[in-house]
Amino acid sequence: MRQPGFLDQSLFSELAAKAAASPRGRQNHNFHDMEEPCHRMALGMQPCTYVPPHRHLASDKAECLIVLKGSLGLLIFDEQGQVVDKRLLTAGGDCLGADLAPGIFHAVVVLEADTIMFECKAGPYRPVDEGEYASWAPREGEPGMAEYHAWMRAQFD
């Protein structure tokens, strides 16, 4: 039997430090086993991390995001890449999370160092598929990524 997991300041500090040391600027801590039907994880994220616009097409891949520390900008896009909604998600703020249905193009930008987010979605883990990435936005490491990431962040200036 797995021991209880806790969302405490010790975990937050560990995730923030690991995210800061990671070339991708993020680090997750899974509370689930990979074969479990419900995946629950805490993610430490730094402002340098780039999460490209994507969607989850499987009907069981709704996801819930909750900011536990710091702040994120959430961008919701239409099929052509136009922003149709944006929300500032801030721990303890007016809006601290979102529940996203499958099929919705979305991306997050980290607006504060050492941000911690909790994410919950159905397992098992499946990487984002080719058809789930937005064709109108660069992927991680592609040319234009830095400029697009800066544009996404500027939506919250």
Alpha-carbon span 63 to 157, nearest angstrom? 26
Distance of alpha carbon 100 from its chain centroid, rounded?
A: 11
Predicted pLDDT at 2: 80
Work out how many domains the chain is built from and give that number: 1
58-91 pLDDT, tens digit each: 999 999 999 999 999 999 999 999 999 999 999 9
Q: Residue 14: inside a domain, yes or no? A: yes
Predicted pLDDT at 116: 98
Q: Residue 2: inside a domain, yes or no? A: no
Predicted pLDDT at 64: 98
pLDDT of residue 148 exceeding 80: yes
Its domain, for residue 105, covers 9-154
**Closest by alpha carbon to 48, among 145, 135, 127?**
145
For residues 156 and 88, the answer to whether their CB atoms sit within 8 Å is yes
89-136 pLDDT, tens digit each: 999 999 999 999 999 999 999 999 999 999 999 988 888 888 899 999
Q: Residue 47: inside a domain, yes or no? A: yes
For residues 152 and 107, the answer to whether their CB atoms sit within 8 Å is yes
Predicted pLDDT at 79: 96
Q: Residue 60: inside a domain, yes or no? A: yes
Q: Residue 83: inside a domain, yes or no? A: yes
List Cβ neighbours of 40 (8 Å cut-off, separation of 6 or more).
30, 31, 32, 118, 119, 120
Q: Residue 33: inside a domain, yes or no? A: yes
Q: Residue 4: inside a domain, yes or no? A: no
The model's pTM is 0.94
What CATH number should be reported for the domain holding residue 122? 2.60.120.10
Predicted pLDDT at 135: 96
pLDDT of residue 57 exceeding 90: yes
Q: Residue 139: inside a domain, yes or no? A: yes
Handedness of CA 125, 116, 59, 77 (dihedral sign): negative
